Amino acid sequence: MKRSLLTVFCLLFSSFVLSGCLNKKAEKPAERPKIQETVNTVPVEKRPYSVLSFSDSGRFPVRRELKLEISDGKKAETIEYELEYQAGTLVQAGVGSINPKGEKLPLTRNILLGSCSAGGACSYNEDVKGGTLVLRFKGSEIGNLKGEWNFYGPGNDGKLASRDAKFQLSAPGLKNSYVLIAQTLGFPPKVSGEAIAGPYHLETTADKTGEMQLTMRLNEESASPVLWMWDGKELQKIQAEISGKTLTANVRSSGTYLVTK
């Protein structure tokens, strides 16, 4: 009888313990808080001209590698760069750093839209859509800079735009080409004044762009806004029409576009 009672007690105790274990909710691991970086605290006219373009290094097909060019290190100890982008359903990134004191200006880095193994075999990311560029000027008053970029391939409909949609192109001649539209992190050379649109850099693999209709959304209305285009050598003033906060112009060239007041 004592053995029977002991057996029953053990069974009840075991049932109670197991029931408690099963009903106990699994504790979720604490989520790491996302760090929000402070960016673009310095006015655009005081930042170094930093631009993305198609690389001409010759190591890879032109559309597979981008070139980052920074006009001035602004006394930074190091400059970290992070190029993040959408490729199909995946988010990819190219990262690295530059020691401004050990290099000549402009500072340049080629960033592969893909990866290479130690043995030299390379694979390329497909269906690249564009993304963001972050530059961190360590030890400099410039701080962190951030801009966006869009990437188009052959078969596009000729309706092209920056990621914020404030720079738009109707460009039938670029339907069969690769096109890059990127915010530049700073003014191109020889530009002064206050920007009320841009700067945006347009780059294409097309030999000829043909005539393109450019539309830019201004941050504010201005009595006499001026559209500028920097082609890498010369600064050109381009005739444009203004309606409220919308500027339109016919253009025929790659380059960096911005509007000043």
The pLDDT value given to residue 10: 47
Counting as low any pLDDT under 50, the low residues of the chain are 1-3, 5-26, 32
The pLDDT value given to residue 222: 86
pTM: 0.84
The pLDDT value given to residue 31: 52
The pLDDT value given to residue 62: 86
The pLDDT value given to residue 107: 98
The pLDDT value given to residue 37: 87
Total count of residues recorded for the chain: 261
CA 158, CA 180: separation in Å to the nearest integer? 13
The pLDDT value given to residue 119: 87
The pLDDT value given to residue 36: 77
CB 151 within 8 Å of CB 180:
yes
CB 248 within 8 Å of CB 215:
yes
